[in-house]
Amino acid sequence: MKKLNVKNNEAAIYGVGGLGEIGKNTYGIQFQDEIILIDAGIKFPEDDLLGVDYVIPDYQYLVENKDKIKALVITHGHEDHIGGVPYLMKVLNVPIYAGPLAMALIKNKLEEHGLLNSVELHEISDKSVLKFRKMKVSFFRTTHSIPDTVGIAVHTPVGVIVETGDYKFDLTPVTNQPPDLQEMARLGAEGVLCLMSDSTNAEKPIWTHSEKWVGNSIAHIFDNIQERIIFATFASNISRIKTACDNAMAHGRKIAVFGRSMDAAIVNGRELGYLDIPDDAFVDAHELQSLPANKTLILCTGSQGEPMAALSRIANGTHRQISIQPGDTVIFSSNPIPGNTTSVNSVINKLEEAGANVIHGRVNNIHTSGHGGQEEQKLMLRLMKPKFFMPIHGEYRMLKIHTELAEQCGVPLDHSFIMQNGDVLALSKDNARMAGHFTAGDVYIDGSGIGDVGNVVLRDRQLLSEEGIVVVVATINLDNQEIQSGPDILSRGFVYMRESGELLDEGRRRVFKTIRKSMRAKKATESSIRSAVIDDLQEFLYDKTERHPMILPMLIMNGKEQ
């Protein structure tokens, strides 16, 4: 078991995920034999992670210390903070504490994974206090792009450690949950030992616009459209969904909802009181045909260009119930996440080609970030007045800029710590120091597989995508040193077989000679013959094409040595 280099009178803080990256937020605060976990998120894969669905942290350190973990507390219900919960619970069944909306979303995830009845769940509010033998956890309300967002204060024997979660200072939120500035100031006045704060927008010297500002822009757009409106946004953005639905009802439009996650968001939002939408405001897909275009709003997923989301299928003409009509207005009420820009632009182009008018981008004022800019980050620092500072949730350059902001707000630069996942910061009442490191790499989720896709598999997928594959098929009798059939060569993604007959014929002759030579060697085996075929054919094909396709020999072995 990995033992931290932390003294008995020190608290330890670390990121299992979320440091040097956007996503995978999973943080630990530890004092002696008690650990409080904050969030359990996923990260969406970059383009080079071919076929990978999600990335989660390596939970090995937590598994080795599972008896010390007292709680998993959740700041809010976004995927980069709760998406890893079911995977964590499969290896580490600990009590979960979350606000109403986050809890509803977590229950859905646990049910999908067959874990709902085996996990201890506790709903909390910003006024809740959790007491453990050596530590205490309290909460304070923040604002983000989803309701029930809280920051977390962990009270340890050496001082209070605050983790903000994702936040901005929205003083006019449409959900009527303003940030609790008084509680933040009270924590700061009583003394914060260390502040762990969201760094996402540390590069932006702004005060992020309020959701009310976006609402005014959307209201203006609805006022000027007389045809059908298709509105795409994140299913988790209840505030934006509320704005769209309120404007639809104000203009006498009926609402049709498409996308499983959007359906779930509407159900959860109505049950928890965030969406005040009567039953008769909704219509089914088949009812849309009988309604005038200016009396309908289609609310759907797909604002990030996801291939299987409702909007992408509408754009491609493959949606079973909805197709673009001339005069339709499609509103993208979100900005593309880094890496999704190409997909989003492709969907926009297809919608425009089909005759729709597409409203998107910052110029139309139809989206605002859920993360505070530099001015809000400085306000958080001034309210909390921390002795030490650890920027979280951001790539390295964002963390670095955030420490510079902290210095401007009175935190000495040598009291700020830019850390990587697995780094441990030890805190006493007056000092902070780096105290070792544990392994905290990435684990890939591919379908139902967890961690069974590694670098070798990804390298193979990369090779297949770039160079293609060549399959060699032959039947061999090793006892008689005889090739009974073949070899045949099949190409997929390498060369077009119909136009490359001469190359493939020469390749077959070369492989035939290689197999015969390999069979005559002492202690010849299927493995040695396969290796010889791969080496020889790779060399031959590179000489002819300057490409390195994957070579896959399929040898059918006859005889006693098969």
Residue ranges per structural domain of the chain: 11-206+369-450, 211-364, 468-557
Q: What is the DSSP string of 467-521?
A: H-EEEEEEEEETTTTEEEEEEEEEEESS--GGG-HHHHHHHHHHHHHHHHHHHTS
187 phi, psi to nearest 5 deg: -60, -45
Q: Are 194 and 31 in contact (CB under 8 A)?
A: no
Quote the CA–CA distance of 241 and 69 in Å, as a whole number: 37
Residue 499: predicted pLDDT? 57
Residue 400: predicted pLDDT? 98
Which residues on adjacent β-strands are paired with residue 69? 35
Residue 72: predicted pLDDT? 98
Residue 186: predicted pLDDT? 98
Q: Are 534 and 508 in contact (CB under 8 A)?
A: no
Other C-beta atoms closer than 10 Å to the C-beta of 173 total 20
DSSP run (H or E) holding 527: helix 526-545
Residue 124: predicted pLDDT? 97
Report CA-CA distances (Å) from 49 to 192, 339, 447, 516: 40, 12, 13, 39
Token pair for residue 112? 């999908």
Q: Judge whether 11-206+369-450 and 211-364 match in fold.
A: no
First to last CA, the chain: 45
Collapsing DSSP states into helix, strand and coil, what is residue 196?
Answer: strand
Quote the CA–CA distance of 8 and 134 in Å, as a whole number: 12
220 phi, psi to nearest 5 deg: -65, -40
Sequence-ordered list of residues with C-beta below 8 angstroms from that of 351, at least 6 positions apart, any chain: 314, 315, 324, 330, 358
Instruction: Examine residue 487 and say whether the peptide bond preceding it is cis (omega within 30 degrees of 0).
Output: yes
Which residues on adjacent β-strands are paired with residue 196? 163, 390
For the four alpha carbons of 300, 79, 93 and 133, in that order, the dihedral sign comes to: negative
Residue 500: predicted pLDDT? 67
User: What number of CA atoms fall less than 13 Å from residue 473's CA on the CB side?
Assistant: 5
Q: Show binding-site residues for Ca(2+).
A: 51, 53, 446
How many helical (H) and strand (E) elements, i.e. helices and strands, does the chain have?
16, 25
Compute the CA torsion angle 449, 455, 460, 463 (nearest 10 deg).
Answer: 130
Sequence-ordered list of residues with C-beta below 8 angstroms from that of 273, at least 6 positions apart, any chain: none
Q: Whose CA is closest to 380, among 163, 91, 78, 97?
A: 163
What's domain 211-364's superfamily in CATH?
Metallo-hydrolase/oxidoreductase (3.40.50.10710)
DSSP run (H or E) holding 526: helix 526-545
Query: For the packed helices 260-271 and 238-250, what is the interaxial angle rounded to 10 degrees?
Result: 80
CATH number of 468-557: 3.10.20.580
Question: Using the 8-state DSSP alphabet, how is residue 560 labeled?
Answer: T
Quote the CA–CA distance of 318 and 298 in Å, as a whole number: 16
pLDDT digits 0-9 by tens, 332-348? 988 776 667 788 888 99
Residue 278: predicted pLDDT? 95
What amino acid positions are annotated as catalytic residues?
A: 198, 371
Quote the CA–CA distance of 483 and 516 in Å, as a whole number: 7
pLDDT digits 0-9 by tens, 68-98? 999 999 999 999 999 999 999 999 999 999 9
Other C-beta atoms closer than 10 Å to the C-beta of 353 total 10
Collapsing DSSP states into helix, strand and coil, what is residue 163?
Answer: strand
Q: Are 471 and 465 in contact (CB under 8 A)?
A: no
Give the strand pairing for 150-156 and 159-163.
Answer: antiparallel
Rama region for 426: left / alpha / beta (φ>0; ψ in -120 to 50; rest): beta
Write the single-letter amino acid at 8: N
Residue 382: predicted pLDDT? 98
Residue 219: predicted pLDDT? 93
The percent of the chain in helix, strand and coil, each rounded to the nearest 5, is: 35, 25, 40
Q: Whose CA is closest to 303, among 336, 258, 342, 266?
A: 336
> Nearest 5°: CA angle at 306, between 300 and 308?
75
Q: Show binding-site residues.
A: 51, 53, 76, 78, 80-81, 144, 166, 235-237, 367-371, 393, 446
Per CATH, domain 11-206+369-450 is 3.60.15.10: yes
Quote the CA–CA distance of 268 and 451 in Å, as a whole number: 32
Average pLDDT score, the chain:
88
Q: Which pTM does this prediction carry?
A: 0.80
Residue 518: predicted pLDDT? 81
Residue 450: predicted pLDDT? 53
Place of tokens 């007056």: 430
Quote the CA–CA distance of 427 and 135 in Å, as a whole number: 14
Q: What is the DSSP string of 405-426?
A: HHHHTT--GGGB----TTEEEE
Q: Tell me the mean pLDDT per 10 residues along the chain, length 562.
A: 80 96 95 97 67 80 95 95 94 95 94 93 97 98 95 98 97 92 98 97 95 90 94 90 94 93 91 93 90 93 81 90 91 76 87 92 77 97 98 96 98 97 96 94 66 47 63 80 78 64 79 81 79 83 77 74 47
